[in-house]
Structure 1
């Protein structure tokens, strides 16, 4: 069953437009989801919305949205939200083109596949897609999904487009708040050489098919065992040993990756102390 489009509207580049649909490019539906149960009956638990002050259940028809202020809450109705509808609710308007490598990965939120919606605008869609591809750039636009306007980056992907929702600057934390307190560490060159050798032995192609969600696999195995009546818990993995000597750990890592035994650096010899020359003898005053 094909997924349902998250958004339908028009893609517009200046005076050229075409109908499009956005589909989520990723999914977590295959992940195991655990339900909350009543231990005594085995029945599922149903969450109930209650008044935070009185504890009484609230009818769904009486639940409204609100924003907390110093004076209390300001109620926001559906009519209020409809009144602030903006153009990007129905149109994904391209406003700028930027180099791909200028978009910091911190701003990436969620990817969507963009496809033409119907036959009418297929040629216009293909023209926009190939024009973006020819320039090797990323198109920036705005789109409203679930009442929120998002900045979106568009780039060609096969016969379609990949749209990535981007964060606003106020959503990205300043790295200086976390990195400035990291002290500068003196790093011997031989340690860097060993570490880069380890990296070289572990290089390879990006193969996502080789990724395994080990937690998901272990969870499925646990469920299968319990369903079969086996209640024994799996053995926990051993905690990694603490690194006592960084240089020794690097050397052992090189050998573990199949490299030649790392040669130990010869101990530095301290320079022989030269005999101290006596100064000229002072004459005694007569």
Structure 2
């Protein structure tokens, strides 16, 4: 089933307008997730909303938003008051300006969305806006309201559609000076840099997300499958690590390790070339195995009896041997 739109409204460039829908471009629903349960009963834990002072449960209609101004002092803000200050961009993404994509600092990027025409009308206006942005080789900057908050959104063509990326406001981005001021100014020798560059060259490759494997996700799936089938979970071997004593020695050892690992990596890559695993469609659901029996490990399959023909042959050979011995 297709995901639900996070937002529906209009995309507008001056007097050109079209109805659009905003869909999330990423998803975490396929990842393994856990619920909290009672160890004694196996029942799921239920959370109640209670008054911090009285301990009494509070119903949803009695819960309002409050801004904390002191330890026990809050300014109450109602939903109607929030609706009254809602901005015009609630139902419209107004393109305000066009900027070079390179001008957008990566720290300002939040998350991507797909912006598509909503319904059968407006496709021509949508195409005009999309191709105008494409021809300028720039990113369109607009504003959109999601969950009562106004966000800056950067729009750029992606195939036949538009991708919108939410951007942070300047006050949301911390200054790097708060963290980098205490970094020491170290003098590096040319030999060190040459060795490091050699390692980088050996590890250089084209970016291909299909090559990435979520190893922790796979470990979770393996763990769950083992427990579902009553298989004892073995503890992993203790990790060993050594301290780096000399930077130059570490660089030289790294190059030696790269040379040793290169042949095996090359063979493995050539083996799987053109034979990538099929993409998961249902997430971890198709990777989690069914429970064997009643949660216990299935008994080993009994050995099959020898065919009758072979049995007769064995008896005949035994009879011949006895006659020869007699």
Q: How does the TM-score come out when normalised to structure 2? A: 0.77
Provide, for residues 190-210 of structure 1, a one-character-per-residue CA deviation record: whole Å limited to 9, x for no partner.
Answer: 111101100001111111011
Name structure 1 gaps, 5 residues minimum: 260-286
What SS class does the counterpart of residue 258 from structure 1 fall into?
helix
Counterpart-to-counterpart distance in 1, 2:241 and 2:106: 31
Moved more, 241-250 or 93-102: 241-250
Change beyond 3 A, Cα 1:40–1:117: same
Match of 2:230 in 1: 229
Aligned counterparts, 1:94-105, within 5 A: 94-105=95-106
Match of 1:117 in 2: 118
Counterpart-to-counterpart distance in 2, 1:84 and 1:232: 56
Provide, for residues 87-122 of structure 1, a one-character-per-residue CA deviation record: whole Å limited to 9, x for no partner.
Answer: 110000000110000000000001000111112110
Aligned residue pairs, count: 259
Counterpart-to-counterpart distance in 1, 2:238 and 2:185: 34
Counterpart-to-counterpart distance in 2, 1:235 and 1:111: 37
What SS class does the counterpart of residue 54 from structure 2 fall into?
coil
Match of 1:92 in 2: 93
Counterpart-to-counterpart distance in 1, 2:4 and 2:218: 28
What SS class does the counterpart of residue 257 from structure 1 fall into?
helix
Aligned counterparts, 1:50-65, within 5 A: 50-65=50-65
Q: CA deviation at 1:241?
A: 2.1
Q: How does the TM-score come out when normalised to structure 1? A: 0.88
Counterpart-to-counterpart distance in 2, 1:36 and 1:163: 35
Counterpart-to-counterpart distance in 2, 1:56 and 1:185: 60
Q: CA deviation at 1:236?
A: 4.3
Provide, for residues 23-59 of structure 1, a one-character-per-residue CA deviation record: whole Å limited to 9, x for no partner.
Answer: 0000000111111111110000001111111222112
Counterpart-to-counterpart distance in 2, 1:20 and 1:150: 17
Change beyond 3 A, Cα 1:27–1:169: same
Structure number with the higher helix fraction is: 2
Name structure 2 gaps, 5 residues minimum: 261-326
Change beyond 3 A, Cα 1:117–1:241: same
4+ aligned runs moved over 2 Å, structure 1 = 230-234
Match of 1:132 in 2: 133
